Structure 1
Amino acid sequence: MFSTKSFVAAVGLAVMAAAVPASAEETVIRFSNWLPPTYPLTTDVFVPWAEKLEEETEGRVRIEFVSGLGSPQSHFDLVRNGVADMAFSVHAYNADRFPLVMMVELPFLAPDSRSSSIAAWRTYEAFFADANEYRGVELISLWNTGPANIFTNETEIAALEDVQGLKVRVAGGIARDVAERLNMVPVFAPATEAYEMISRGVADGIFFPTELAYNFRLGPALGYGLKVPNGLYFSSQYLFMNPRTWDRLSDEDQAIVRRLGGEYLAAFAAEMWDQQDILGELEMGAGGTRFTVADGELMANLVAELAVFEQRWIETAAEHGVDGEAALAYFREQVESLN
């Protein structure tokens, strides 16, 4: 027997049932972020990128930021094992995993983050992708910070001899190798501990892009900054996902992530790095850090001393079946065209 109450109840159930698929389709990606929530890479890159991803997928994919679920060095494994769905990390923290990609950190490659980041992504796609160095995770994008410089607390560097014996904080990878090549003493620590190390005299200085020295508030501990044209080296970073989380996304949403990752995200992150390098030099200079530029004999000696790393990497690339000379030439062609 038909009744109004049963009809209304049926309609209500139908409306509720129709609403279920929309919410069920939503994929929430837990992003383990070990950076401070106010750091520019978080506020100016990751957060707006996440908002754009949610908008482009019409709410089907949403990123939820959580405080770091482990040490910065552990995040590759945290994502691979599914403890987090997404994270970013620094290649140098696990340099042995990425012998090919570490090319993008070599000395004297580019004048800024933008050209080196876009060139890095293009070179990865053209020469390194088949090596599958990110096995166990899904790579979304990679990019470079701005060029690294030499910052010291009390020693002004006017000649190569001035750096010998100085203790310098490094993250590992090429920064460690450069320090040792220049007869400096590398001291290992996360960036978050750099100020305490320098202010207490555990380290005499640091290798850093200007942006990082500024945003990690190292200015008061650093009396001098030696700017190295085209970079003493570069620090490269990458964004990645758990493969099972990736597989939960529809083909359509995977395509959107791909479009918003890769070169798009590399250029987006680089814009922040370059702007912050400029701001950092202005603010640190106003605070008392004295900046000079390596040139003349000092620069010639740096180039001569560090040339060994390019040759070593070419040999490493050959061991992995990659033409290193061709990859480097391609990278430099991209940098030149972008500038």
Structure 2
Amino acid sequence: MFRSRKSTLVACLAGLALVLSGCGGIASSGEGRSVELKAASLLPPNGSQSDMIQWFMDELEKRTGGEVETEVVHGGALLSGTDVLPGMKQGRAEAGQIVPAYFPAELPLNNVNMVPMAGADQAARLLAFQDLADGNDDFAAEFERNGLHLIGYLPNASSTVAFNREVTSLDDVRGAKLRIPSQPQSVVWEELGAEPVFMASEEVYEAVERNIVDGVTFPMDTQVANGITEVAKYMAPDIGQNGGAIFAISQTVYDRLSDDVKAVIDELKGEWYAKTAELLTEYEQQACEKFTAAGGTVVLWDDDEQKTIASATEKLATDVWQTEAAKSVDRSAVEQVWSDYTAAVEQHTGEAGYTDGLQTCGK
């Protein structure tokens, strides 16, 4: 019998060991036996990334008839952002939300997602990353080296920066301390006069509330889901579409699953990007409505400001990522990833009918 959903990929290795000792593998082999899988989610529920993870886990439990029991632990309560990759290797979670920016040495090529792309289609970016995972051997090898079985790239809503002080133009950003998660973004914001600050996502709300930082970059829906917009009432576009996270299962855990469970996982992977596109649109619309209803102000850079940002981004961001990635991977592989990535983004642009929610918010 398929069991009712739980809401958390629960299977510490201790629990898995009991299953392994009884049947020689993780998959169930007798009536009443089940595999417990626990997933670490960094963000609270009710955002596109968190709900994408929850959707996958719920469907995995439902479609395996309870052979796999799942639990998702949200808000970084199981593992913090910088602990997910080592935590999965240690067996503290069987699956997790992995932000490549937290692991530049382990996932140097995946950190291409932190290079800002002005006006990029976020749905197209996800498909481009998947193309790299499917078709670029060096890119795919990063998952193998880190013991990861990729499920998919999580939906990343419009990249924004929320400020806890009035901002009406790019000039108002000068001197502002901004939480920025990656070096390619940081060098551009620094060029524009801001002071970049790195901190884990779990620390951001208090930092904004206490004026430790003046602003924070996050996807549009995450700004609202994390409560950032309760204390930061001005929201503007980031320097380009960037960022993102991966959802993966431990390869060791995956290898021990039954063929029937693996078939369900493949089925869900086939539905993944249609679901991400749906959630992107849904949550950006919701975020816009909640933000504006609470008195939030959307600030859009004018044409001259956009040119200033684009010039700084083009001059600095790509080279920062390529130089850093080349410390761990051959430079030719880095350049090939960039070429494949930009071509794939162009190819997939418009396929999902996605429209940037911040650009249309309040209109």
Structure 1 position 48 matched with structure 2 position 55 = yes
Change (3 A) 1:303 1:336: same
Give the match for residue 96 of structure 2. 87
Q: TM-score, normalised by structure 1?
A: 0.81
Deviation, 1:170, is 2.4
Distance 1:282 1:255 in 2: 39
AA paired with 2:267? R
User: What do residues 138-165 of structure 1 show as CA deviations (whole Å, max 9, x unaligned)?
Assistant: 2221234112122222241423x43222
Which has the greater radius of gyration? Answer: 1
User: What do residues 278-334 of structure 1 show as CA deviations (whole Å, max 9, x unaligned)?
Assistant: 221222122222112223100011000101323454665761525232431222211
1:123 corresponds to which of 132, 135, 139:
132
User: What do residues 94-148 of structure 1 show as CA deviations (whole Å, max 9, x unaligned)?
Assistant: 2332222222332225555433222322233222565511222222212341121
1:216 corresponds to which of 218, 226, 237:
226
Q: Percent identity?
A: 21
Give the aligned length. 315
Structure 1 position 296 matched with structure 2 position 303 = yes
1:255 corresponds to which of 251, 263, 285:
263
Give the match for residue 181 of structure 2. 171
Give the match for residue 137 of structure 1. 148
Structure 1 position 332 matched with structure 2 position 346 = yes
Distance 1:27 1:206 in 2: 39
1:278 corresponds to which of 282, 285, 293:
285
- Mapping for residues 106-255 of structure 1, pairs under 5 Å: 106-108=115-117, 111-127=120-136, 131-134=140-143, 135=145, 136-159=147-170, 161-227=171-237, 232-255=240-263
Distance 1:269 1:282 in 2: 20
Distance 2:272 2:118 in 1: 20
Cα RMSD after superposing both structures = 2.8
1:175–1:233: 8 Å Cα contact kept in structure 2? no
Give ranges in structure 2 of 5+ residues lacking alignment. Answer: 1-27, 354-363
Give ranges in structure 1 of 5+ residues lacking alignment. Answer: 1-18
Q: Give the match's secondary structure for 1:236.
A: coil
Change (3 A) 1:222 1:165: same
Q: Give the match's secondary structure for 1:104.
A: helix
Structure 1 position 99 matched with structure 2 position 108 = yes
Q: TM-score, normalised by structure 2?
A: 0.76
Deviation, 1:20, is 7.2
Q: Give the match's secondary structure for 2:105.
A: helix
Give the structure with the higher percent helix.
Answer: 1
Change (3 A) 1:275 1:41: closer
1:146–1:209: 8 Å Cα contact kept in structure 2? yes
2:331 corresponds to which of 308, 314, 319:
319
